A and B are shown apart, each in its own frame.
Chain A
């Protein structure tokens, strides 16, 4: 390889760098979310089952009444790489939900208890109803929300992200948002029906603090035994748990993907090594007797 190769290589890297500068979220104000530690970080990162189960509890009790999970089925909760509920638990849980079915022989739609194969029912029958019930804003569905939210990393940080594997903009943002409710700065007027959040782009968010009921003003948990597994109930912990659950909901095959990826990578390295040696072998003939190649 000559100097051209090197310069082209550098150019390619720089090119990739600039090209990916696309900021992924609104340009409006909103503090950069602090970085959290996640069990699913990196090529070998996996979900923490206990955390996903806690997160599901938080989702169910604090978010589910407005935010659907429409792409998920109850059965997903017991599938490998997820929260690891048992089939029995999932059946019981599903039966607590009512889903619409039918029509029956009389031509009527009816409600029945959900089965594991059913998808999570939507909290609102349609967007108009959701809007009417929520001050004109439709609460977004949570199926892929952890992948649908991001924030700008800036040049050249996002270049390093390729190597460092940082891709948790979504989870970091969601956790920040859940812990970012505070009193507005002096002199800033927040209109009725809006709330101040230091991480929300534009700062004024329609959603009221969803964890409000769980903590008092001093940040003390109203129910210290909210978690049955002994995990301390803090605002950050609760936010992180529900975020981890949402990340799993958005990317339920992540563990399978990474496992496969490790195997593929190892195999490619072996193959590349073999081909490199073979290539050297074959091309060395030219050094021996250049004109005999044909």
Chain B
């Protein structure tokens, strides 16, 4: 309690009560020393308050167990048949892994030249293994870039994903085509460990 009173006092007293209080003090001692004291004490108090505030803020950040549980995961792609997709959970979020057919890849490439709200070539949304583009595999975060709902797979006007919350349509490459979403579906950090295995994170 004392500290905030003290601060209020310093802010307010200055102007009015200086005549009363401080002049007395000035008379009874070196004015510079008093001002330095007040300033130093105030500064030390502010630093202390900051030191107390930091742990209180920091404690809300992800804790050590949460961070450890969010370590990279390996995903075996072999069980996912052509034209199929799976949803897996990583760091609490859905991740779509879609095994595209040759026709779907072709469709996606054709649309590179279409009017895309968030222009990006299909080739830029796939990853390579040993120099070879693994364009059968689309790996995206399963949260609509509008407000985070989970879009439904194999639906919408572009046979990609359709978000039922606010009507965003994505194509099979996860690019936004129509609706309020501002960006293509985000791609998590991932790499191919072999032709049929990826590591996410």
Contact = CB atoms under 8 A, between A and B. Distances in A.
A289 B23 CA distance: 11
Nearest to A268: B48
Interface in B31-55: 34, 37-38, 40-41, 44-45, 47-48, 51
A271 B68 CA distance: 39
Given A271-B41, A292-B20, A281 B25 contact: yes
B23 to A, nearest CB: 9
A146 to B, nearest CB: 21
Name the prevailing secondary structure of the B interface residues. Answer: helix
A116 interface: yes
B44 A292 contact: no
Contacts of B44: 267, 270-271, 274
Interface in A167-182: none
A158 B48 CA distance: 32
A115 interface: yes
Contacts of B28: 284-285, 288
A271 B45 contact: yes
Interface string A263-294: 01001101100110110011011001100111
Contacts of B34: 281
Contacts of A270: 44
B90 to A, nearest CB: 13
Contact of A117 (B20, B37, B48, B69): B69
A110 to B, nearest CB: 14
B71 interface: yes
A292 B26 CA distance: 13
Interface residues of B, number: 22
Contacts of B48: 267-268, 271
A83 to B, nearest CB: 16
B27 interface: yes
A183 B106 CA distance: 84
A277 B20 CA distance: 20
Contacts of A275: 41
Given A116-B71, A281-B29, A267 B41 contact: no
Contacts of A264: 51
A235 B150 CA distance: 61
A75 interface: yes
A7 to B, nearest CB: 26
Interface in B123-142: none
A282 B17 CA distance: 14
B65 interface: yes
A282 B48 CA distance: 22
B199 interface: no
Given A267-B44, A267-B51, A294-B20, A282 B25 contact: yes
A73 interface: yes
Interface in A41-67: none
A79 B65 CA distance: 12
A282 B47 CA distance: 23
Given A117-B65, A267-B44, A288 B37 contact: no
B61 interface: no
A285 B21 contact: yes
B27 A288 contact: yes
Contacts of B45: 271
Given A267-B51, A271-B41, A274-B40, A285 B68 contact: no
B25 A285 contact: yes
Contacts of A289: 24
B115 to A, nearest CB: 40
Contacts of B38: 278
28 contacts: A73-B65, A73-B68, A75-B68, A116-B68, A117-B65, A117-B69, A267-B51, A268-B48, A270-B44, A271-B44, A274-B37, A274-B40, A274-B41, A274-B44, A278-B41, A281-B29, A281-B34, A281-B37, A282-B25, A284-B28, A285-B25, A285-B28, A288-B24, A288-B27, A292-B20, A292-B24, A293-B21, A294-B20
Given A75-B68, A274-B37, A284-B29, 5 more contacts: A75-B64, A285-B25, A285-B28, A289-B24, A294-B20
Would you list the 5 A-B pairs with minimal beta carbon distance, nearest first? A117-B68, A274-B41, A285-B24, A288-B28, A271-B44
Interface of A: 73, 75, 79, 115-117, 264, 267-268, 270-271, 274-275, 277-278, 281-282, 284-285, 288-289, 292-294
